[in-house]
Structure 1
Amino acid sequence: MIEDIWVDPAVSALRPDFAVLAMGVYGLRNGPTDDRSRAWLAAAAQDAVAGDHPKVEAWREAYRAFGTKPQRTRPSVDALVRRMPLPEINLVVDAYNAVSVRHGLPIGGEDLAHYEGTARLVRAGGDETFEVIDKGEPAIDHPEAGEVVWRDDRGVTCRRWNWRQCVRTRITEETVDALFLLERLEPMSMEELKAAGEELTALLEQVTPGIRVESRVVSAS
């Protein structure tokens, strides 16, 4: 899974500085938010980057590059740093949200039990499916042509780079095996990207001692 992840050259052309640390984590025992993960969120909120930090602004610029207004559909880290206190979701999501705001780094999490084929970051044709909940009922949406999306063999798993995840692959309390995508643009260094991955691993090991983790950096080069 990790070995096959790729970034389309059409995306790399927009931001040659883009890199993603892909982490496969196996054997999780997730659960609801508890006092431990509330402490992670509270500490991260104290240390969170500001909304005008250059690392956050880099993502706004990336959105403009493919024709999206970041004021309307915000990059995930931009939305999170504006949302304090941080939302309580579940142990695993709390862990990666805490790492995200501390480093100014978008992080996505996918449940591998519901993933089909290889993860890849591409520019959408516009006819791909995107599974959502609309007025409490399952529905199908579609990305705009040229939009940067993460997808698998079945459809789009995250629209507008890291704006919104589909309902099919989101991490729940039942998730056992997961894919995490830590997305980097300059001015974040590759060293900080690696450190963020190590920090996430440490938190997930508190959730479930003995997890198996494999990782790989995917970039334009």
Structure 2
Amino acid sequence: MPEAPFISEKVMAIAPDFRALSIYVDTKAGVMNEIDPVILDDACAYVLAGGPSWAEDHLAGWADIYLKFGAKPNRTPCSAQALRKRVLKEGRIPAINPVVDLYNAISLRYALPVGGENYDAYVGRPQLMLAEGTEIFDTKNNGEDVIENPMPGEVIWRDDLGVTCRRWNWRQGGRTRLDHAGGRMWFILESLKAMPASALDEAGDMLVNGIRKMAPNSEILIQKTAV
């Protein structure tokens, strides 16, 4: 059984109202069916119509947390804010692959950051902590593979090898990115107090139900995480 994510006390101090759902999926190498493209289109339409009601307050809460650890949310917003801004500007976001499209739809519909990781590429337990500044983060710059280091004190997700996501949930690294559907996957749905607790459960249900439609024989484990 996968271990629940480790959250450091220093992160707890920055975001005492943080709560999340951690969802592990093992598709048993089964065939991944496509999702109905209407799911992503409907989520974009929902955002354009102003939903959900807590969106602005919730995303403002994330911006405040980013300021607490030294990030600039206008320049490097949380993932949910970045998706929402893109939809409000362009009307929609393009499809990527079935799993990414599903969790992007959930992120838009519930105005919360949703991360999806290739758990087969993980080494050790997921950890949410403050960076020392020497950790390795693999990414791309102008199409070229590069290695970066986070800023000291920056909130990062990491495993035993290095950073998997910078600035809490701003940018995902390449090593654990879900560039294909299937295998073992890990999802983290991250919320603050401005988002109703029942809505977080609904978002988790939407993810689980979507995965079961794509890969009916999957094993799924849900763990609630709170500081």
Aligned to 2:56: 53
1:77 partnered with 2:76: no
- Offset at residue 205 of structure 1 (A): 1.4
Tell me the alpha carbon deviations over residues 113-137 of structure 1, each in whole angstroms, 9 at most, x when there is no partner: 1111000100100000001123333
Tell me the alpha carbon deviations over residues 125-176 of structure 1, each in whole angstroms, 9 at most, x when there is no partner: 0000001123333221010000000000000000000000000101022541
1:145 partnered with 2:144: no
- Offset at residue 47 of structure 1 (A): 1.5
> 2:36 & 2:173 partners in 1: Cα distance?
24
Q: In the alignment, which of 192, 200, 209 is matched to residue 207 of structure 2?
A: 200
Aligned to 2:37: 38
Aligned to 1:88: 95
- Offset at residue 110 of structure 1 (A): 0.5
Q: What is the one-letter code of the residue matched to 2:219?
A: R
SS at match of 2:116: strand
Q: What is the one-letter code of the residue matched to 1:161?
A: W
- Offset at residue 52 of structure 1 (A): 6.4
**Given the two structures, how large is their TM-score scaled by the length of structure 1?**
0.92
- Runs (4 or more) in structure 1 with deviation over 3 Å come to 28-31, 49-52
- Offset at residue 38 of structure 1 (A): 2.1
1:23 partnered with 2:23: yes
- Offset at residue 46 of structure 1 (A): 1.5
Does the C-alpha gap of structure 1 residues 174 and 107 become closer, same or farther in structure 2, counting only changes over 3 Å?
closer
Aligned to 1:66: 69
1:155 partnered with 2:162: yes
Query: Share of identical aligned residues, percent?
Result: 37
Aligned to 1:101: 108
> 1:174 & 1:6 partners in 2: Cα distance?
26
Q: What is the one-letter code of the residue matched to 1:63?
A: Y
> 1:29 & 1:177 partners in 2: Cα distance?
13
- Structure 1: gaps of 5 or more residues: none
Aligned to 2:124: 117
SS at match of 1:216: strand
1:127 partnered with 2:134: yes
**Given the two structures, how large is their TM-score scaled by the length of structure 2?**
0.90
The answer to whether the 8 A contact 2:78-2:170 is kept is yes
The answer to whether the 8 A contact 1:37-1:95 is kept is no
SS at match of 1:53: helix
Aligned to 2:183: 176
> 2:36 & 2:64 partners in 1: Cα distance?
32
Q: Please, what is the CA RMSD of the aligned residues?
A: 1.7
- Offset at residue 30 of structure 1 (A): 4.1
Paired residues in the alignment total 217
